[in-house]
Amino acid sequence: MEKLMISGGRPLHGTVQISGAKNSAIALLPAAILAESEVVLDNLPQLSDVAVYIEILEDLGATVTWEDNQIKINPSHIKSIPMPNGPVKKLRASYYMMGALLGRFGEAIIGLPGGCNFEPRPIDQHIKGFEALGATVSNEHGAIHLHAKELRGARVYLDVSSVGATINIMLAAARAKGSTIIENAAKEPEIIDVATLLNSMGAIIKGAGTETIRIEGVKELHGCRHSIIPDRIQAGTYMIAAAATGGNVLIDNVIPKHLEALTAKLIEMGVKIEELDESIRVIGGGPYHHVDVKALVYPGFPTDLQSPMTSLLTQAEGVSVLSDFVYSNRFKHVPELVRMGAKIRVEGRSAIIEGSKLNAAKVKATDLRAGAALVIAGLTVEEGITEVSGVEFIDRGYDHLVTKLRSLGADVWRQTE
């Protein structure tokens, strides 16, 4: 086991390149198995979650070549084998194997997903979608069994605009007979990315990025080449880190529009932002004003930046209120920040944060974004060394974290526990 050691108090300076989006990549990899020939994905992030997904595709019989940021997946010889255990248990997004295998073979057995379990995360809306398309779904000893003689297009209204359910239904419906309409669909950029890949493979999907998505099923899909969109959450994390340390950082390879909710909040706090075509410069320094933040579905403030933002708000004057309306209890980073001297209390869906200096401590990342929050907090500490354990969570979503932070002037290293 490794931990991250952070000797903070240095403003970040320089340029950081943002990788392809994790939450796109782990939906695009299973989407590729719907094709009958080779799919090439560029701008693939080098993450542990991606490595696990590749293991799953290889177990199914796909031929995979992964070099640097490009992956070639040839799924022409895959088979639908039951996967009640094994790598599917290691990540949450293995639920996309349900939609992808159902779409290609009309059957799948997939163990209930693992991943960052900061609170119970149901998949009832995914199941509702599969059933609407004509599949029978049962939970047998912790594995979901799906079967459909023939998938037929249907109208599905999502009770919650879930990212995972929207993508999973698109995967299952792309090759179904007839048309599917997803109402109250999620609008996150990753959904547009998946629809773009599927359309390049020959699917007919319209309206991705709006609340109504229409899918005209086609018989067969073919290979193609696709470049993954930049990771808006990784970008946002570096923006927040730049602001928290009073640095000056150019965040490169981003789509600034995807970060509008964060940019607006940073400006409201008093951070200077310069937006360019594919990059954003963040100039911090303070003093920062307290702000209220509400994490919502896209285009609202992303829940995945709620924890990193908590760390930044400890550096603002006065009292800020940060509420999460996507997850009701995603606050596992708070007790750890309190160990570092933060003055935060959680009330219902909100964290109430009073500005204060943080001190070095030994803290534990219990999920990916909580880990990012602790790293940012550690970077602000002026004396002593902050130790963050649970690095394996951080590795799920931040590739080359130490290298990137060191190139910005941070004193950060990994140490074996």
Residue numbering of the annotated binding site for phosphoenolpyruvate: 22-23
| Count of positions on this chain that bind ligand EPU (CB under 6 A) | 24
Q: Is the CB of 38 or the CB of 399 nearer to ligand EPU? A: 399
166 vs 279 by CB, closer to ligand EPU: 166
| Least distance from ligand EPU to the Cβ atom of residue 168, Å | 9
Q: Which of 32, 57, 88, 93 binds ligand EPU (CB under 6 A)?
A: 93
Q: Which amino acid is at 155?
A: R
Smallest gap from Cβ 123 to ligand EPU, in A, equals: 5
- The 8-class DSSP code of residue 94 comes to G
Cα–Cα dist 216/230, whole Å:
28
Comparing every residue's Cβ against ligand EPU, the nearest one is 164
Joined tokens for residue 283 = 């100039």
At its nearest, how many Å lie between ligand EPU and the CB of residue 61? 24
User: Which residue number, 35 or 123, has a Cβ lying nearer to ligand EPU?
Assistant: 123
Residue ranges at the known binding site for UDP-N-acetyl-alpha-D-glucosamine: 92, 121-125, 304, 326
Phi and psi angles of residue 248, each rounded to the nearest 5 degrees, phi first:
-145, 100
- Applying CB under 6 A, which of residues 368, 375, 381, 401 lies at the interface with ligand EPU? 368
Pick from 116, 143, 244, 394 the residue near ligand EPU by CB under 6 A: 116
User: Annotated catalytic, 116?
Assistant: yes
Tokens of 297: 């579905």
CA distance linking residue 333 with residue 306, whole number of Å: 10
Q: Convert residues 37-76 into a mask of x (bound to ligand EPU by CB under 6 A) and - (unbound).
A: ----------------------------------------
CA distance 99 to 33: 11
- Active-site entry in 116, 182, 186, 391: 116
Strand order in the sheet with 385-389: 362-364, 385-389, 2-7, 411-416
Q: How far is the CB of 3 from ligand EPU (least distance, A)?
A: 20
Binding range to ligand EPU, per CB under 6 A, among 99-107, 115-123, 146-154, 383-391: 115-123
The total of other beta-carbon atoms located within 10 Å of residue 200's CB is 16
Sheet containing 212-216, strands listed edge to edge, beginning at the edge strand earlier in sequence: 155-157, 179-183, 212-216, 204-206
Q: How far is the CB of 415 from ligand EPU (least distance, A)?
A: 24
CA distance 53 to 73: 12
Order of strands, sheet of 224-227, starting from the edge strand that comes earlier in the sequence: 63-67, 70-74, 39-42, 224-227
**Strands of 207-361, DSSP E:** 212-216, 224-227, 248-252, 272-275, 279-283, 288-289, 292-295, 316-317, 319-324, 343-347, 350-354
Q: Which is nearer to ligand EPU, 143 or 165 (CB)?
A: 165
Binding site for ligand EPU (CB under 6 A): 23, 26, 92-93, 116, 121-126, 160, 162-165, 186, 303-304, 326-327, 368-369, 397
Provide the annotated active-site residues: 116
